[in-house]
Chain A
Amino acid sequence: MQRSMAASVGMHQSLMKKASMAGFLAMLVLFAALLSIPARAQSYDAAIDRFLSDSFPDTEAGISALQAAGDARGVAVLDALLDRRLFVVAASRTVLVRDRAGQTNDARTGQTVAEAPAGAVMVRLNNRLRGLAQAALGAMTLLSPDPERRRLAAEAVFRSRDASALPAIDKTLETESVPRVRAALREARAAILLADAQAPMAERIAAAAFIGEIGDQDGIGLLRQTLTNAQGQLREAVEAAIKRAEFTQQLRRAGQTFWFGLSLGSVLLLAAIGLAITFGVMGVINMAHGEMVMIGAYVTFVVQDLIRANAPHLFDWSLPIALPLAFVITGLIGIVIERGIIRFLYGRPLETLLATFGVSLVLQQAVRTAFGPTNREVGAPSYMSGSFDFIGMQITYGRLWILVFTFAVFFLLLAVLKATALGLHMRAVTQNRRMAASMGIRTGFVDAMTFGLGSGIAGLAGVALSQIDNVSPNLGQSYIIDSFMVVVFGGVGNLWGTLVAAFTLGIANKVLEPFVGAVLGKILILVLLILFIQKRPRGLFALKGRAVEQ
């Protein structure tokens, strides 16, 4: 807690520094423009005087006077007023501002007062004054050197649509260089013009069109409000703008759904790739596959735990360190399972299914005994947390990296299968075990390696999934049925089929979700899959062959 506060203070300072360096000239110009009003300093003092009496009408006048004065010091005063940190001392006719750190300053001189004197009274507020102060603050923080605050201020103006903020907006727009803030300012300007019945018709129509073009939810709300008392040309313009904005919204929503689907698809693919090897290539039903994913996630947990204890500065490296470890550990477990159990059961798929299910129970219980039954906390490195805005859609870094990682694993695996000696041997053993053995391939060794590879990839998946799922002994169970569905849907023995199947299922799931709800959507997908398997029992991309099934 403390650390994060210190960090945020540090960040704030550096931000301020950067902003003051980059925007210094711009601010200078801005201030020069404001300073052209000669009576500015006096009007600020006069506004401050209004607060002395602490009566609602006087305070109201003070707020508007502060805004009209346009002095940057007024921001702190209004902020303090809203936050119950503004005091008046009637005796000495001073107005005191206590800042967020607890230091008390004189509002006029800016001098620090050691101790709030006796007789200091907090300036009272009511809801109406609060609204006015917020609107004024919005208009005034447009002058802030911090671009993020300017943007927030523009949004506040957009919401209040206070026409008195228009000059300030126009002034800021002249010099504003940050695109994000510019967009927010222009939107706020359009909102004011649209809401202002006195504004020229042409400008209001242009404003409506502009808001329609942006097409966000708030804009639609504003347009709808305007529609209730708009006539003639304006009405037509507003109607067109609403249509346009709603279309944009639909597109954006479709885009967002598509992204969620891609993300879910990548998770499904990640969980299923390992299975595509063990089940798809070897024909082994490995019910313990989900537990390999779970163990991969626990490897991440242990790595992070060790890093936290011994070398906290390496925390961002925890995932890259965990990846090879998870691959090796789960791969070795896989090899042990293959040599110890599955080897004796080739050609008996149903028995393999039961035996590996037994293994999955044992592994689950082992992890539960070692780490406890509750969820374990796995942290996100800095590059995995946060999100960014992509043409109006929120995209989280974690999900994005998982998508990238999934593709990396997929193509790496494809390369291993197609371009290495081991891959060649694997395919040979799959196609004709006896012929491969006759050619001198050690089929037992290849089996063990293949199973180890599939399990190791499940471990890799576990590292990635630890970032978005609860790390508990039951982690694997939730993926096993989905993974089998993906592999069966895609067609056994075909990695590309697995890829297509995972993304199809992911997107289909997310498209259905808004209509029927998450659970029903999942059921619907399962039912559709069962029906699909009726039609194409060998999956989307079945391997062609003449063999009669065994």
Chain B
Amino acid sequence: MILARLLEMADYRGRIFLALLAALAVLVPIANLLVPPDSFLHIGTGTVVLLGKYLTYAILALALDLVWGYCGILSLGHGAFFALGGYAMGMYLMRQIGPRGVYGHPILPDFMVFLNFTELPVTWWGFDNFLYAMLMVVLAPGLLAFVFGWLAFRSRVTGVYLSIITQALTFALLLAFFRNDMGFGGNNGLTDFKDILGFNVQAQSTRVVLFLATLLTLAAAYIFARFMVTSSFGKVLIAIRDAESRVRFLGYRVEHYKLAVFVVSAVLAGIAGALYVPQVGIINPSEFSPTNSIEAVVWVAIGGRGTLVGAALGAFVVNVLKSFFTTGSLAAYWLFVLGGLFVLVTIALPKGILGALEKLAAKRGTRS
């Protein structure tokens, strides 16, 4: 029966998507580890890291699509959950440095020694334990989303109002994390990581494993999200997106549904952040900047909201474009491209790339 349910929920898009991920999972490690470096088919470790980064963005986009595409909640603050997950992971990685820091303090990270901290702040207790840190990766964004969502949805803050206060939320966190006395590294954030679970984060093999872990997480997140939106719970979410008042008049507790999906989405974003940090090697307050969150929204819009696959696709496409434009002489034009994409997608491609592709395919189908 479970198998039947799985088959039913994995539509053709999902199958293609999962097949693509599986292919990546096999081909990338082979091309990186087994193919000799001078070969045409070799993929450098730098590229693996870049791909891994894109995949974490894809998870964030998936999380955003869950709330925006299926429940109509446009969060402009999802970057905050992503960054909180990232900080939790970063704190674990900082504690793993141990006495190997520049100042050689047995417990305190370098920046704390520099800022004259005499003992570890309470917020850092237990972060040397990987399991506790992973618990925090889930709990910190989840709890924030729960409190924030509970307040917001209970008093029926909807639409653009909600968007603006989510933006204010991430802005407030940005300001807070910039402060040195918060004990999270201030302006510079957390960096210079050494080990994760005893393995060197810089090592090629660790990087490939992290890439695979991200890939696996993305696949699991997709299956979970797909399961969620095809269940009866998901049907209510879609109904809320399309006509919130009617769903409420039918007797559903709209705010409970919204809160549930918001928290799940925030946790997913936090996990994405936790996978992001060991790969890029740094986390700083700029991850909280409202622009980051709104950029994530445009990935979803460009890929096609309400499709899950489209969100992941959009994150990938936009970031490949971004990498292409921001390296070299084209850097000055990237914001023109990004801004143009915002306008183009909202006016010309309301269903995103995926929608446009499917429309094209459908047309061709009827013609043949």
Contact = CB atoms under 8 A, between A and B. Distances in A.
Given A350-B74, A365-B336, A537-B161, A355 B155 contact: no
Contacts of A345: 346-347
A170 B333 CA distance: 73
B29 interface: no
A484 B164 contact: yes
Interface stretch (A108-116, A423-431, A528-536): A528-536
A529 B152 CA distance: 12
Given A350-B74, A481-B168, A526-B172, A359 B343 contact: yes
A190 to B, nearest CB: 44
B172 A527 contact: yes
A497 B264 CA distance: 37
A39 interface: no
A354 interface: yes
Interface in B333-368: 333, 335-336, 338-343, 345-347, 350
Nearest to B73: A350
B129 interface: no
A61 B361 CA distance: 105
A344 to B, nearest CB: 5
Given A364-B335, A527-B172, A534 B154 contact: yes
Q: How many A residues are at the interface, by size bracket?
A: 35 or more
Contact of B297 (A352, A354, A360, A368): A354
A355 B161 contact: no
Contacts of A359: 339, 342-343
Nearest to A526: B172
Most chain-A CB neighbours within 10 Å: which of B155, B158, B342? Answer: B342
A339 B292 CA distance: 28
A365 B301 contact: no
Determine which residue in B340, B341, B347 has the highest number of CB atoms from chain A within 10 A of its CB, and name it. B347
B161 A488 contact: yes
B54 interface: no
Interface in B283-340: 290, 294, 297-298, 301, 332-333, 335-336, 338-340
A350 B161 contact: no
19 contacts: A350-B163, A351-B346, A354-B297, A358-B338, A361-B339, A362-B336, A365-B332, A365-B336, A365-B339, A366-B336, A519-B178, A519-B179, A522-B172, A522-B175, A530-B165, A534-B155, A535-B155, A537-B156, A537-B157
A369 B335 CA distance: 11
Interface in A330-389: 341, 344-345, 348-355, 357-362, 364-366, 368-369
A531 B336 CA distance: 37
A354 B298 contact: yes
Contacts of B179: 519-520
A362 B341 CA distance: 10
Contacts of A360: 339
A481 B161 CA distance: 12
A504 B339 CA distance: 34
Say what secondary structure dominates the interface of chain A.
Answer: helix
A344 B347 CA distance: 7
A339 to B, nearest CB: 13
B165 A355 contact: no
B305 to A, nearest CB: 10
Interface in B140-177: 148, 151-152, 154-161, 163-165, 167-169, 171-172, 175-176
B163 to A, nearest CB: 6
Contact of A534 (B157, B175, B342, B347): B157
B187 interface: no
A94 B164 CA distance: 80
Contacts of A348: 346
Interface in A504-550: 519-520, 522-523, 526-527, 529-531, 533-535, 537, 548-549
B346 A354 contact: yes
Given A358-B340, A365-B335, A519-B179, A353 B171 contact: no
A157 interface: no
B360 to A, nearest CB: 22
Contacts of A365: 332-333, 335-336, 339
Question: Contact residue range for chain B?
Answer: 35 or more
Scoring A361, A364, A526, A530 by chain B CB atoms within 10 A of each residue's CB, the highest score goes to: A361
The 3 A-B residue pairs with the shortest CB-CB distance, nearest first, are A358-B342, A361-B339, A362-B339
A81 interface: no
Nearest to B165: A530
A523 B175 contact: yes
Given A351-B346, A351-B350, A519-B178, A526 B171 contact: yes
A285 interface: yes
Contacts of B161: 488, 533, 537
A485 interface: yes
Given A349-B160, A350-B163, A519-B178, A361 B338 contact: yes
B245 interface: yes
B159 A349 contact: yes
A531 B154 CA distance: 12
Contacts of A534: 151-152, 154-155, 157
Interface string A459-481: 00000000000000000000001
A344 B350 CA distance: 12
Contacts of B336: 361-362, 365-366
A533 B157 CA distance: 8
B151 A531 contact: yes
Nearest to B155: A534
A345 B172 CA distance: 30
Contact of A358 (B155, B158, B341): B341
A358 B294 CA distance: 10
A349 B342 CA distance: 14
Given A350-B163, A353-B74, A488-B164, A537 B155 contact: yes
Given A354-B298, A523-B176, A549-B245, A485 B338 contact: no
Interface string A248-273: 00000000000000000000000000
Contact of A361 (B158, B342, B345): B342
Contacts of A341: 343, 347
Contacts of B298: 354, 358
A248 to B, nearest CB: 34
A360 B290 CA distance: 13
Given A355-B346, A358-B338, A530-B168, 5 more contacts: A350-B74, A355-B342, A358-B339, A361-B339, A533-B157
Contacts of A362: 335-336, 339-340, 343
B342 A485 contact: no
A485 B176 CA distance: 18
Contact of B172 (A352, A523, A535, A549): A523
A327 to B, nearest CB: 24
Contacts of B343: 341, 355, 358-359, 362
Contacts of A549: 158, 245
B334 to A, nearest CB: 8
Contacts of B151: 530-531, 534
A535 B165 CA distance: 14
Contacts of A533: 155, 157, 161, 165
B339 A481 contact: no
A362 B333 CA distance: 9
Most buried by B among A484, A488, A530, A531: A530
A361 to B, nearest CB: 3
B114 to A, nearest CB: 20
Nearest to B345: A354
B155 A354 contact: no
Interface in B211-270: 245
Q: For B179, B336, B343, which residue has the most chain A Cβ atoms within 10 angstroms?
A: B343
Nearest to A484: B164
Contacts of A535: 155
Nearest to A537: B157
B146 to A, nearest CB: 15
Contact of A481 (B158, B159, B178, B290): B290
Residue from A354, A369, A534, A548 having most chain B Cβ neighbours under 10 A: A354
